[in-house]
Structure 1
Amino acid sequence: MCFLFLVQYFAQFQWLQYLVVIMALFAFIGSILNANRMPGILGLVMMGVGIGVELLKGTGFSGISEGIFLILPLLCLITLAPLLSIPLKIGGFFKSVSHLLHNLLSQPKKMYAGITGTLFFLSPILNLASVRIINEFLEDLKLPSALTAKSYVVGFATASMWSPYFASVSLMIHYLHISYEEFILYGLGFSILSLVIGNLLFALWERRHPFAGSSAAIVPLDKADRYQLIKLILFVACLMGVCLLVEELTNWSMIVIVCLLAVIVPLLFAVKRGNWKRMPPLLKDFRDRNVPLMSNEIVLFMSAGMLAFSLKGTTVMNGVSDLLAGLANQSFFLFAFALILIVLCITYIGIHQIAVIGALAMQLSVVDLGVSNLAVALILLLSWAISMSLSPFSGLNLLVSRFSRLSGRSVGLGANGLHSFVVAFISIAIISLIA
């Protein structure tokens, strides 16, 4: 399906588009059978409502096909992006990351900075797999639940505001028609701001809730490990640089560029002598373990995308759009906080971010709002990051809840509520300057 979508992007055959849509529907059905109960039920409800609304609008199969095809780029992105973990495994980067984190165990503030910083670099290309990997490194150390909840959420959420390998950024670029080159410095700046605020708040929190560092033996960080960590930083920087260069030279969709790189980069690593023999087990693991693990995401992304597309132009969305336009004409702060609140309330009851943010991105008119595309994109991305951090039903929250042994509400509002509020307030103040 992903391969045919990429072919269709360049070939532009109508019959091939219908074929890819049919394959996507089969992928959705297969993923439903393999998904967890709650995501499966939510997916069926959202897909059913989306298809129902399209039928009521009189668009029939053509409208349904268009809605599914619009979400296919994001579906290909979340499916292919994990292939980039293969070069990291072959290069031995994970071992050095593990040594770095173990070396910081006796110093809670540095440990927090190490976890959030590592996730800042790994999450942009590995998505939720980065959290699983970090937890595997630290699982035997029995870190305090609060440290786990705060560091995992803050470190991971930063990537959703700047990485082209994330559905959030790709969605904004795709629907709001802004280039990644125009966006990257702002997105990266807000991510670093969130990281800094998270570390400062943790330092203040740790003063009131001190805990002793682990007594486990410290693994020295030798020269080879430092070299590997530098290579990891350069690898991530090169990936982003190539994305910008290819977009500048070709004007291709950023999602397509990322999907192509996710396939090409592992193949380039395999060409090196000795690496080719290590590829088959890693590819087999990707096929047999990674892809089935994405069933929940595939179900939620497809159904939420279909629902978002179907809501465009409806009475409900027109009312929301008029409300936000009225607030924007009065005050940018009112508009921004209302937008974040709408997204948070809807996602807090279990609706995926793509449904509400995708619908808003397709519906909002920057002309009516009197706000630039870039400012709208940044506010929507901020909404995505906050709702992902706070909603007890987000994939991040569910994963961190299991690792930290805390409830979803404790991980969200309990551990990260203050951080989200401070980041939102400061970010909106900054965005208002470019609105």
Structure 2
Amino acid sequence: MPSLRHQLGGWLILTGLVLQIASFMLPWLPSPLVSLLLWSGAITLWPDIPRRNQWQAGILAGLGVLMLMAAKLVYGGDIDAWHVLDGNTFVVTMLVGVSFISLIGRPPQESQPKGPPITGKRGLIGTWLGVHLLGAILNLSTMFVIGDRLERRGPLNDPQLLALNRGLCSAAMWSPFFAAMGVVISLTPDIQFTTMVMVGLPVALAGGLFSIFELSRRFDLSTTPGFSLSPRSLLMPAGMAALVLLFHYLITPNLTIVAIITFLMPGIAILANLLRGSLVLRQRIQRHRHFRLPAMRGEITLFLCAGLLTKGMSSLVTAATQGNWTLFPVFDTSAAILSFLGIVASAIAGLHPIIGVSVLASMLDLGSINQNLFGFVALASWGVGTAVGPLSGTNLSLQGRYGISGYRMMRNNLLYALFMSLLVMVAITCLANSTG
């Protein structure tokens, strides 16, 4: 059994998720209760967060509080204290909901690799596609599943690690199951999801083609095992995506993609395990609450603190300028490109892209700009920034699991980041011109 603190933290996070789902059907439920539960869970689990993440989250929250105080005390701004902790609540509950996908079926890592490995360029393609397509639904856990299977044939080398890194991070450019899309939709609810997919998916696939070409020229892949991607392994993610679109366009068109994912993933997990009996369901839910949810403490805390920073900065800017100032008078092609480059540069410096996106959002009048353009800038900078950033969650996870240096990953990804940045700037130009 985990410690009492972990049990309490898991209960608080799970209760916050349940209350958020209930609010979709009972809109009169006070949303601050969800925020209070999630923040309480994060504070309960705070001692177990790595020191680096504690500093980062603490600075974000501290700056947010200071800006709120300055907005109120210095400029006499109107601060809604009842909702001051609501920033990124929708995103956090979506992340918690998505985590329940791990309860569907048996863990893929239980299966042992059979037969001779697929090597060369074909194996690299399988690794990138596998982590990209499966990771678009299962997120970070896919990188470990595929990486652990590859590691059974020997220590992971640079091309394998880079394929895992780039394949997963590029899925943030279009997948509705990533926190990146959740943040974008919560900031710009009028965004067109299909437009994000139509622009983001081709850019991500182009990054995959570039990776195959570049890595096959830089490294000898003749003995490098790859992941064997079978049609059967794609059934679950394809089915999940189809269900989300079905609910979004036909069954619950009034709910956002984030809201649908938040209730649909736990619902499917509960039904799948209920077929095996109530005892199995209770045991798996209990284990998820005791171990998986507390293990999410780092990302939950970071997103909550980033939301507080956004609330504080936007309140201060509004109070100080009486709502008459924005970072860019017009959010056009040039402004979008500068924003993208700034967020990626901050990621290379060690900041998570959500910080850059949050700061940018607080300095713009999101209601009057091209929301699709802002959304793509946020998704693209997230996809590129997490791949190249040495302190991103992806690279820190690779470092902790497989012993690779985050700064080595950054150096190996600089050319990739340059190519993707050029491609993103072209896509930004096309998107800005096509939507005015």
TM-score (norm 1): 0.84
Conserved in 2, the CA contact under 8 Å of 1:324 and 1:339? no
Conserved in 2, the CA contact under 8 Å of 1:93 and 1:232? no
String of CA shifts for 1:315-357, please: whole Å, max 9, x gaps.
Answer: 59989x855447x66xx2x434421221123334443322220
1:172 to partner: Cα distance: 1.3
Conserved in 2, the CA contact under 8 Å of 1:146 and 1:404? no
Partner Cα distance (2:113, 2:238) in 1? 22
Cα separation, partners in 2 of 1:416 and 1:64, compared to 1, 3 Å:
farther
Say which SS state the counterpart of residue 427 (structure 1) adopts: helix
Residue 426 (structure 2) pairs with residue 429 (structure 1): yes
Cα separation, partners in 2 of 1:417 and 1:193, compared to 1, 3 Å:
same
Partner Cα distance (1:61, 1:397) in 2? 40
TM-score (norm 2): 0.83
Identify the match of residue 143 of structure 2 among 131, 154, 160.
131
Partner Cα distance (2:425, 2:365) in 1? 19
1:420 to partner: Cα distance: 1.7
Cα separation, partners in 2 of 1:61 and 1:43, compared to 1, 3 Å:
farther
1:178 to partner: Cα distance: 1.1
Residue 126 (structure 2) pairs with residue 114 (structure 1): yes
1:276 to partner: Cα distance: 5.5
Partner Cα distance (1:428, 1:325) in 2? 20
String of CA shifts for 1:145-200, please: whole Å, max 9, x gaps.
Answer: 31233111111112211111111012112212213234333232222222222212
Partner Cα distance (1:419, 1:171) in 2? 25
Query: Where in structure 2 are the equivalents of 1:181-330 lying within 5 Å?
Result: 181-206=194-219, 209=220, 212-213=223-224, 229-249=230-250, 250-272=253-275, 274=276, 278-312=280-314, 314-315=316-317, 324-325=328-329
Residue 21 (structure 2) pairs with residue 20 (structure 1): no
Cα separation, partners in 2 of 1:133 and 1:285, compared to 1, 3 Å:
farther
Give the AA of the match of 1:157: C
Which residue in 1 is equivalent to 2:7? none
Identify the match of residue 151 of structure 1 among 163, 179, 187.
163
Conserved in 1, the CA contact under 8 Å of 2:35 and 2:85? yes
Identify the match of residue 50 of structure 1 among 64, 82, 106.
64
Partner Cα distance (1:104, 1:61) in 2? 63
Partner Cα distance (1:290, 1:253) in 2? 26
Cα separation, partners in 2 of 1:61 and 1:367, compared to 1, 3 Å:
closer
Identity %: 18
Partner Cα distance (1:8, 1:51) in 2? 27
Which residue in 1 is equivalent to 2:172? 160
Give the AA of the match of 1:286: H
Conserved in 2, the CA contact under 8 Å of 1:104 and 1:114? no
Which residue in 1 is equivalent to 2:399? 401
Cα separation, partners in 2 of 1:430 and 1:341, compared to 1, 3 Å:
closer
Partner Cα distance (1:364, 1:346) in 2? 18
Cα separation, partners in 2 of 1:312 and 1:291, compared to 1, 3 Å:
same
Give the AA of the match of 2:266: V
Say which SS state the counterpart of residue 145 (structure 2) adopts: helix
String of CA shifts for 1:340-377, please: whole Å, max 9, x gaps.
Answer: 221123334443322220232354347876xx322221
Which residue in 2 is equivalent to 1:415? 412
Partner Cα distance (1:93, 1:399) in 2? 19
Which residue in 1 is equivalent to 2:8? none
1:56 to partner: Cα distance: 1.8
Say which SS state the counterpart of residue 128 (structure 2) adopts: helix
Give the AA of the match of 1:290: R
Give the AA of the match of 2:34: V
Say which SS state the counterpart of residue 152 (structure 2) adopts: helix
1:428 to partner: Cα distance: 1.9
Conserved in 1, the CA contact under 8 Å of 2:88 and 2:186? no
Cα separation, partners in 2 of 1:231 and 1:275, compared to 1, 3 Å:
farther
Partner Cα distance (1:293, 1:88) in 2? 21
Identify the match of residue 8 of structure 1 among 20, 23, 26.
23
Where does structure 1 lack aligned partners over 5 or more consecutive residues?
none
Say which SS state the counterpart of residue 204 (structure 2) adopts: helix
Which residue in 2 is equivalent to 1:82? 99
Partner Cα distance (2:326, 2:79) in 1? 28
Give the AA of the match of 1:119: V
Partner Cα distance (1:408, 1:123) in 2? 20
Partner Cα distance (1:87, 1:313) in 2? 42
Cα separation, partners in 2 of 1:181 and 1:241, compared to 1, 3 Å:
farther
Cα separation, partners in 2 of 1:303 and 1:287, compared to 1, 3 Å:
same
The structure where helix makes up a greater share of residues is 1
Residue-pair matches, total: 408
Moved more, 392-401 or 192-201: 192-201
Partner Cα distance (2:132, 2:348) in 1? 25
Partner Cα distance (1:167, 1:255) in 2? 9
Say which SS state the counterpart of residue 252 (structure 1) adopts: coil
Cα separation, partners in 2 of 1:417 and 1:153, compared to 1, 3 Å:
same
Partner Cα distance (2:368, 2:272) in 1? 49
Q: How much is the aligned-residue C-alpha RMSD, in angstroms? A: 3.1
Cα separation, partners in 2 of 1:130 and 1:186, compared to 1, 3 Å:
same
